Amino acid sequence: MNQVTPFTERVRESLRAQLLDAAAELLAERGVKGLRMADVAARTGVSRQTVHNEFGTKEALVTAVAAHTVEDFLEGVAQRVTEAPDLATGITAAARHTLVHATENRLVNAILTGTDAEDLLPLLTTKGQPVLMPAVDLLTQLWRPRLPWLPDEEIRLLAETGMRLTVSHLLTPTGTVDEAVATITALMCRLIPEAPDD
């Protein structure tokens, strides 16, 4: 019976991270249609079978890349919301991080601009569930201690509204990042009910 050692697991995680990074670069360059498992393998110095063993299909690889990219982005959101002294400051910091991250991350930028990979846009729109839902889950969890007077379903609705509003500003910017952040913060602060008087 083969036993997975901590070292073996670390090697596998490192390989998976390399494959995901290579796939993200290729997706930004060529889009989903231009992505080939063989090219991911060549870029990381492994066999094509290794890539297939790890992800199975190209569709599963694209989904994994999206999840990996979202995970990295959400770590930044969590840090900013947690460190903020109040909810409004946290919303501002998270919105700014999201909008700036989108311009700095090559894959996200390709999704938004469509210049390199026009077939990636569905990852944020019609096939955006793997991106949107983890962000909503995280915000719900982070906002719960700051909004103890609200039921979970209402906090989740507010979190989803904030994420959808931010994604809307990503997809169709009408001003600067500062203006978008101010708009998102102002609207969310109006939507969040104040704590009831004791």
Mean pLDDT of 32-56: 92
Q: What is the pLDDT of residues 3-24, one digit of tens each?
A: 667 877 887 888 999 999 999 8
Alpha carbon distance 43, 23 (integer Å) = 9
Mean pLDDT of 106-123: 65
Q: How high is the pLDDT of residue 112? A: 64
Q: How high is the pLDDT of residue 1? A: 47
Alpha carbon distance 70, 53 (integer Å) = 23
Q: How high is the pLDDT of residue 37? A: 94
Question: pLDDT-based confidence at 49, cuts 50/70/90?
Answer: very high
Per-position b or e across 149-160, b if 16+ CB within 10 A of its CB: ebeeeebbebbb
Which of 175, 184, 81, 171 lies closest to 120, judged by CA? 171
Of 102 and 40, which is predicted with more confidence? 40
DSSP character at residue 145: G
Q: How high is the pLDDT of residue 115? A: 56
Mean pLDDT of 177-196: 94
- Check whether 171 has a pLDDT greater than 50: yes
Question: pLDDT-based confidence at 127, cuts 50/70/90?
Answer: low
Domains and CATH numbers, the chain: 6-191 (1.10.357.10)
Per-position b or e across 112-122, b if 16+ CB within 10 A of its CB: beeebbeebbe
Q: Percentage of residues in the chain with pLDDT exceeding 90?
A: 53
- Check whether 125 has a pLDDT greater than 80: no
Average pLDDT, the chain: 86
